[in-house]
Amino acid sequence: MDRKVVELDGTPRRDAPPPVTDFWFAQVDMRLSQIEFIIARLEWQIWLIVCGCAGLLIFEIVKALSGVRT
């Protein structure tokens, strides 16, 4: 894909850097998708731990309020 940088009046810029290849963008996209997957998995693990701790806390509160002694 040939990309050209032009000024607002339509004339090509002389000092424009060469366009970056699509391969570089594909590498960045792949790396970002891997990072997003790891972050999503970590987020689910944190939610599982928080919900588990909240469940244990509720269980202990109910046990304390009902007067059950172990």
The pLDDT tens digits of the residues spanning 4-59 come to 655 566 665 566 566 667 778 888 889 999 999 999 999 999 999 999 999 999 99
pLDDT at 23: 78
| Residue 14 identity | R
Average of per-residue pLDDT across 51-68: 91
β-bridge partners, 6: 12
Q: How far apart are CA 66 and CA 25, in angstroms?
A: 61
Q: In terms of Cα–Cα distance, which of 6, 24, 27 is closest to 15?
A: 6
**Which H or E run includes 14?**
none
32, HSE (Cβ side, Cα atoms, 13 Å): 6
Distance of CA 32 to the CA centre of its chain: 8
